[in-house]
Structures are given as C-alpha cells and as structure tokens.
Amino acid sequence: MAQTATLLVSCPDRKGIVAALAQVLYGHGANILDADQHTDPIAGQFFQRIRFDESELHTDRHTLERALREVADRFEMSFRLERDDRKKRMAIFVSKTDHCLFDLLWRQRAGELRCEIPLIVSNHEDLRGVAESFGIPFHVVPITPENKVEQETRELELLREHQIELVVLARYMQVLSNDFLQRFEGSVINIHHSFLPAFMGGKPYHRAHERGVKLVGATAHYATPDLDEGPIIEQDVARCTHRDTVADLIRKGRDLEKVVLARAVRWHLEDRILTYANKTVVFE
C-alpha cells in the first residue's frame, strides 16, 4: 500500500532547485505523485509542494531527511516533511456563536478534515452542549481585563497537555496576546467576518451596512500580533443590495464564514500553505 508524504519547501529562487529535490527523492526510492511550484519574481522566492510515495524507500526516513537537509543547506532552503497518514491535533476556540463550530465538527466527523479535536475552549458556557453532543471535552476559561494573563496561561497549559498543533478561532471574540501568538506562530487560524482589509475590528457587518457596500465577505487568515492583519489564506464574497438589513448581511456572511474557514483549515491540515512577507502561497 502507498505510504504518502508531503514536502513543502521555500527558498531564494535559483537554478537547479527542482532537479536537486527530484534527484534526492528518486535516489532514495521515493515515487513523486504530484508536484506544484510557484516563483515570486519580485521577492525572488521559490516555493514547492511535492507529494510522494515512500513505501519503497531504499533507505529509512531519517536518512532521507538528512539528504533533504543537505539540499536545504545548499540552497538556503526551509523545508517541512509530513506523513500524510498522521492526523494533526487541533483545538477550537469559540465564544457564543455556533455556526462555525458546528460546521467544523460535522466536517471532521465526516472525514473531510483529517485531524483530531481533543478539546474545545471557550470564554462562555453557551456552547457546552454542542461539544458534548460530539463527545469532545469543553473547557470554559472566562477572561476579563484583570485576569487575561493568568487565563491565557491556563489555555496554553491545556494546549500543551493535549499536544495541540493548530488552534482555530471559530468566532472567538477575544484578542490573543502577543505571547500566545508567538508560541503558536503560523498555527492559529482566525475567521474574520469581512473581506479584509475592509472593516477590520468589531461590528464589520454594521459598518458595511452604514457604508452601503454591494458585497460582503469573510476572510480566513493566520492570526498575528497585528489585529486582523495576518497572512490571508482564503476569502469569499456574497452580493448585497440597498434592501438588505444588518440582519440580512449577518445571515449572508455566516454562510461565507463557515465555508471560508473550513477551506483554510483543510488546506492547513493537508500542508498546502506556505507563508512569506505577510502573504500565503496556497497550493491547490
């Protein structure tokens, strides 16, 4: 049976990168199943995603990684090698709004999102019943300006205890501290209910209605210390008219939020995303 793995690489663009990687994989008995690449000529950066079958390796996995590290040193390359059969461990953070939470849990149960969800964290009790209906432990960590540092420490302890690799903010209405985001750099995905960079911050649908926009949108991005300014992973929009109320915009937006967040989470879990210069390369 095939044993597939994914290799993600990024480095300054120069001749010979594709050939060097292919030669290493072929030389160790790996069979390349598909490969996609992108070059940013302005930034001078090269990116590639390679999926390969390692079931007939002539050597072991550690030897292959050492050979890839030698290529990486030669080309000033960053690389990540992931086994496709290993499920990442994901935590979901929520507040009181349930549509994104339900959608992620259903998709995970249906096998669309290949991950384990050991816990759900919230600053309110409201969605405990949702978590319990899916058999997932629910941890309430109330946060106030006075206890924020202490409670974030508790959240980080929970994430360490459960060996969490990805945190998904499914309409979690709290701003995470710089310390939290630095510890999970590149592994916190947020859904913002507007088409960023328009209407950053709170109440974007209300401000969109006041502005009379003809499109409303949703944006999934990696969270960074700069609020709503992290690398954008996915976006989508829906049309609206002068007849739409704020409630109509919220209803249309919630459909977008679910789909956009699910796409971003799935692409992260499938190792399809590379970040650079506050942007992303998303391999299809």
SS3 82: strand
Question: What is the pairing mode between strands 88-94 and 31-40?
Answer: unpaired
The three-state (H, E, C) secondary structure of 172-205, written as one string: CCCCCCHHHHHHCCCCEEEEECCCCCCCCCCCHH
Residue 219 to residue 230: CA distance in whole angstroms: 11
Burial 33-62 (b: 16+ CB within 10 A, else e): eebeeeeeeeeebbbbbbbbbbeebeeeee
Q: Which residues are catalytic?
A: 228
Q: What are phi and psi of 189, to 5 degrees?
A: -105, 130
